[in-house]
């Protein structure tokens, strides 16, 4: 911005130009406003032309209005930027809180899963010991069952032998009973024949009678036909 010499008024008194008061703008706003004003002045060509106090006043007023407009615009822009940054910061904070809450939930779930895992490991150990105990009991029961089956087989064999022996004994007993009955009948028949022979009259003693007497039915040691029918079939 070039320096202007003081201009003479119509009365001949030199007027000193009033210094312009530039508003302060944050974040480099003043630099941008000054650059815009200098660009406007450079393009208008006012610095190369003599200007009256009225023109200078209008120029100052326009510059002030322009700077005020730029300041307001920059302030609004800054507010929008701050608002956007605040909203983004709030969103980030909210998301951070949500992530923290989710992390806490995941930590709780992880702790619960670890606890459940420990319980399952303990239960697995118990089940393993119980399984071993049950396997030992099953093996013992299988051995006992095998022993009992062997005993049952032996008992069945012994029972079958006893039944066979009983049947043989019953058959032998029946044979003996039949033999006893036969012997009793034979003894009774022999006794009856002897008594009848003793009570009969003796015949003349000659050779023929002796020969015929030896062949008589009463003196025959063999059984009579009635007695022979009582002989058991196994003795015939």
CA distance 49 to 55: 11
How is residue 215 annotated by DSSP? T
Q: Which residue, 49, 79, 43, is CA-closest to 35?
A: 43
Using left for φ > 0, alpha for ψ between -120 and 50, and beta otherwise, residue 27 falls in left
Other beta carbons within 10 Å of 37:
18
For helices 53-199 and 29-44, what crossing angle results, to 10°?
140
- Residues (pLDDT < 70) of the chain are 1-51, 199-236
Residue 8, classed as helix, strand or coil, is strand
The answer to whether 42 and 87 are in contact (CB under 8 A) is no
What b/e readout covers 126-164, taking b as 16+ CB neighbours within 10 angstroms? eeeeeeeeeeeeeeeeeeeeeeeeeeeeeeeeeeeeeee
The answer to whether 189 and 214 are in contact (CB under 8 A) is no
Radius of gyration of the chain (CA): 76
pLDDT in tens, 13-34: 555 555 444 444 444 444 454 5
Percent of the chain at pLDDT > 70 equals: 62
CA distance 61 to 54: 10
pLDDT in tens, 157-204: 999 999 999 999 999 999 999 999 999 998 888 888 787 777 664 544
């Amino acid at each position: 911005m070039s320096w202007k010499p003081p201009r003479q008024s119509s009365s001949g008194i030199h007027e000193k130009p009033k210094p312009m008061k530039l508003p302060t703008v944050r974040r480099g706003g003043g630099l941008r406003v000054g650059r815009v004003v200098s660009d406007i002045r450079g393009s208008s060509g006012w610095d190369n032309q003599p200007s009256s106090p009225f023109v200078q006043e209008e120029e100052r007023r326009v510059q002030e209005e322009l700077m005020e407009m730029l300041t307001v615009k920059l302030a609004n822009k800054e507010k929008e930027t701050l608002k956007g940054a605040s909203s983004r910061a709030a969103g980030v904070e909210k998301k951070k809180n949500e992530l923290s809450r989710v992390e806490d939930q995941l930590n709780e779930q992880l702790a619960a899963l670890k606890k459940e895992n420990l319980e399952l490991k303990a239960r697995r150990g118990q089940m393993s010991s119980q399984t071993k105990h049950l396997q030992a009991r099953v093996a013992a029961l299988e051995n006992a069952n095998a022993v009992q089956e062997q005993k049952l087989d032996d008992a069945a064999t012994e029972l079958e032998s006893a039944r066979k022996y009983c049947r043989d004994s019953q058959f032998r007993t029946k044979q003996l009973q039949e033999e006893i009955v036969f012997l009793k009948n034979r003894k009774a028949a022999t006794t009856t024949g002897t008594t009848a022979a003793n009570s009969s009259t003796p015949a003349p003693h000659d050779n023929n009678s002796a020969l015929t007497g030896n062949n008589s039915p009463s003196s025959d040691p063999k059984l009579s036909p009635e007695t022979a029918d009582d002989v058991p079939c196994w003795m015939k």
